[in-house]
Structures are given as structure tokens and as C-alpha cells.
Amino acid sequence: MSILSFHVSLHDLNQENASIVNNPIFIAGPCVIESAELLDEVARELVRLNEHFGIDIIFKSSFDKANRTSLHSFRGPGLEKGLQMLDDIKSRYGLRVLTDIHESWQAKAAGEVCDVLQVPAFLCRQTDLLVAAAQTGRVVNIKKAQFLSGMDMRYPVEKARESGAREVWLTERGNCFGYNNLVVDFRNISDMLELVPTVVMDCTHSVQRPGGGGGSTTGDRRFVPSMALAAKAFGATGYFFEVHPHPDEAKSDGPNMLALNQLEGVIENILK
């Protein structure tokens, strides 16, 4: 390769990377499906923001939160009813939809409705779950476990790709920092970008205090905007926000969720 060809190729690569960073993926929605009314309220706002910013926010909500701290915590409507509610949102508002799965048998049904299947952080090494998600043909978003480094995610990515996944994303959500606390090593974003082109920053789960509420998980949502901007500095190509019209009344993850009316300002700062 000539020096000129090398510089042209490097320029093209830099332009491509810049385009990805400047046109990031956004994922937003309530942690868990609480009601059809809640999904409608959030979906309407996401449609408005899509039109306002010229972006494509993916709607996220869970049909079942199988990893709640307490047996008595609200989990959601379940697979059948929850997927029907997500399908209704997709049909009515034209939004792409993401949900998480906790067991391999859920993948096929979820893949018939959702555009992106998410593998929770605690389960990112579960081979059967990764294989089942990959075989749906949907995008597979694997959240990095709180006990793994960015480079450790090479192996979950390999499992998904070798099982037929056409597109794999990785999501950073912090690492365990002693008891009931997380810390984000933003170098993990750069490391994971060596594995996949799409690395999402989970700006709300990363401010959790797992199990820190005496039977529930707490968090500190005031740090959410800063998490997003720090991730942008490290080259993140996507941003994940759990949002709720009234976070303090949410049935799951309220303390670390962003208020729905604050999402516009956070996205605006990211896009600057």
C-alpha cells in the first residue's frame, strides 16, 4: 500500500467512526411494564423527541424483572401479556422495541416482537441464553457484567456471533465497588469498541446502589447526565436511559431513573 493510499484509508476509517459517534443510538423507556397508560405516555414523548432531533430512539421496557432484590418486588405482567403490550407500542407509534430476556425459552417469542433482545449483565456468560438470542436473527445487546472487564466481553460476543447473530452490541453499566456500590471505568468503552462497533452506555443502571435500600436497589439519578457526557468523551456510540414520568413512584429502579421531562435536555447535550 502506498503512503497516499494508507492516508486515504485512515481518513475513511476516521470519518466512519466520527459518523457513528455523531449519530448515536438512543434507548429509553420505563424499567418494567407497569401499565398500558405508562407505555403510551413514554412512547408519545419518544416520538416527539425523534421528530425534534431527527433521531431514532428505541423503546425499552421489561415484561418480567426476574432479578429483583426481594421476592415481594413487582416483576411485570409476564411474557405473553408483556410482549402484546410492546407489540401494541411498536404498531401504534412506529418505534423500534427492545426488551430483556432471562431464560433461553423466552428468546423465540420475544424475537417475534422485539427488534433488539437484551441479555442482562448478571447473565452475560449464560451460553444457552446467548445462543437462543442469537438464533432469533434480532440484534443482541449484551450488557457487561458488574464483575467483568471490557475485554472479557470478547467471549460472550464470540458465543453470540458463532451462534448466528448478525449484529451484536455491548453495554457498559459499571463494576462492583465494594458492597452496594458501582463505579464506572470508562476505559471499558474503548476496550469494547475493539470487539464491536456499537457500545452503549447505560447511564441509569450505572448510578445504582445494588441492594442498598434494605430489600431494594437504590441509586442517585443526579449523576445520569454526567455519565452520558463522560461516555461520549470515551467514544460511546449509544446511550441507554430508563425513564419514567414520576420516577419516585416507579415500581422498579425509581431512584436511578431519569425523569421523562429531563430526557430532552440530556439528549440535546449529547448531540452538541
Does residue 241 carry a pLDDT above 70? yes
Position 180 scores a pLDDT of: 85
DSSP assignment string, 44-80: HHHHHHHHHHT--EEEE-BS--TT-SSTTS---S-HH
Q: When comparing pLDDT for 241 and 10, which is higher?
A: 241
State the average pLDDT over residues 1-9.
46
3-class secondary-structure state, position 179: coil
User: Which grid cell sits at 59?
Assistant: 423503546
Does residue 17 carry a pLDDT above 70? no
Closest to 34 measured CA to CA, from 69, 67, 73: 73
The rounded distance, in Å, linking the Cα atoms of 190 and 170 is 11
Instruction: Read off the pTM.
Output: 0.89
State the average pLDDT over residues 256-262.
95
Position 14 scores a pLDDT of: 47
Instruction: Indicate if the alpha-carbon torsion angle 52, 56, 62, 68 is positive or negative.
Output: negative
User: Which grid cell sits at 192?
Assistant: 469494547
Q: Name the H helices within the chain.
A: 3-22, 36-53, 79-93, 107-113, 127-135, 154-162, 187-193, 224-233, 263-271
Position 7 scores a pLDDT of: 45
Residue 142's Cβ-side half-sphere holds a number of Cα atoms within 13 Å equal to 32
Position 13 scores a pLDDT of: 44
Does residue 229 carry a pLDDT above 70? yes
Q: Where is 198: in which H helix or E strand?
A: none
Does residue 137 carry a pLDDT above 60? yes
pLDDT digits (tens, 9 = 90+) for 37-91: 999 999 999 999 999 999 999 999 999 888 767 787 778 889 999 999 999 999 9
Residue 103's Cβ-side half-sphere holds a number of Cα atoms within 13 Å equal to 9
Position 6 scores a pLDDT of: 37
Q: Which residues contact 176 (CB under 8 A, 6 or more apart)?
A: 146, 147, 182, 210
Number of CB atoms found within 10 A of residue 187's CB: 13
Position 67 scores a pLDDT of: 77
The DSSP code for 257 is P
3-class secondary-structure state, position 233: helix
User: Which grid cell sits at 203?
Assistant: 447511564
User: Which grid cell sits at 145?
Assistant: 457484567
Position 9 scores a pLDDT of: 46
Residue with cell 433461553: 104
Phi, psi of 128 (to 5 degrees): -60, -35
Lowest mean pLDDT among 9-13, 20-24, 49-53, 233-237: 9-13
Does residue 34 carry a pLDDT above 80? yes
